[in-house]
Amino acid sequence: MKSRIAGAFAAAWIMGALPATAAPIDAHVVGCIGDFCTAAPDGGPVSVDPDGFTLDVFWGPDVITLTEDPGGGHWNMQVLFQFTGTHSGLEHMGAVTLLDAVGAPIAALNVQFDDLNPLERANYEIFGPLDQPFPVHGFQLALSDAPGVDTMDWVSVSFFPATATTAPEPEVIALVSVAVVAVLVRQIRKLRRVTRRA
């Protein structure tokens, strides 16, 4: 009985020591400057625990497309952070997985960590078949840490070379729908008038 209680306490301690899995983060495509395209979290930067964090980010119907045949033979990705405190130079950045339109990993792409600049920007290189574009809708960052930092926020992610397409706002879709209905009603009325005259 004592060993069972001790085991339960040990399991609880281990669970408490592990960082919590990050809740999915809703994001949106900000836009592009040249072929440098950026997505950011809805509502602004997201606070993460410098001692252990993951990111699970999805930007929904918006899409950033890695363009075909990039110069240099690969694409680039930058994950931007802001922080307070002094970083120790011992940061560990986890592996990145890029996500497709349904949130599944894009198996054809291999993302490799490049460097930190010095902590604010985690640079990655993306390798894969260069004869096709790849639409990217999100990414997952495996367990990472930044010892010595007091507070830390994830700010944005950028890809290049890339292009971006943002989904129309619901209000825009509603306005377009109203306009289409109005045009259809007008056409039906015209048809009725022509039919009556005949």
pLDDT tens for each residue of 35-94? 999 999 999 999 999 999 999 999 989 999 999 988 888 999 999 999 998 877 778 999
What pLDDT score does 178 carry? 43
In angstroms, the CA 72 to CA 74 distance is 6
User: Residue 181 falls within a domain, yes or no?
Assistant: no
User: Residue 15 falls within a domain, yes or no?
Assistant: no
Per-residue pLDDT averaged across 94-123, rounded? 92
Residue 2 has pLDDT above 50, yes or no: no
In angstroms, the CA 153 to CA 64 distance is 22
The per-residue pLDDT for range 4-13, each reduced to its tens digit, is 333 433 333 3
User: Residue 14 falls within a domain, yes or no?
Assistant: no
**What phi, psi does 71 have (nearest 5°)?**
-65, 140
The model's pTM is 0.74
Largest CA distance in the chain: 96
Residue 144 has pLDDT above 80, yes or no: yes
In angstroms, the CA 78 to CA 67 distance is 16
Residue 123 has pLDDT above 70, yes or no: yes
Enumerate the H helices of the chain as residue ranges: 2-17, 170-197
Burial of 148 (0-12, 13-18, 19+ CB in 10 A): middle
- Domain of residue 27 covers 21-167
In angstroms, the CA 22 to CA 38 distance is 21
The count of domains in the chain is 1
CA-atom Rg of the chain in angstroms: 24
Q: Report which of 51, 46, 34 is spatially closest to residue 80, judged by C-alpha positions.
A: 46
What pLDDT score does 189 carry? 59
User: Residue 86 falls within a domain, yes or no?
Assistant: yes
What pLDDT score does 104 carry? 96
Q: What is the 3-state secondary structure (H, E, C) of 130-183?
A: CCCCEEECEEEEEEEECCCEEEEEEEEEEEECEEEECCCCHHHHHHHHHHHHHH
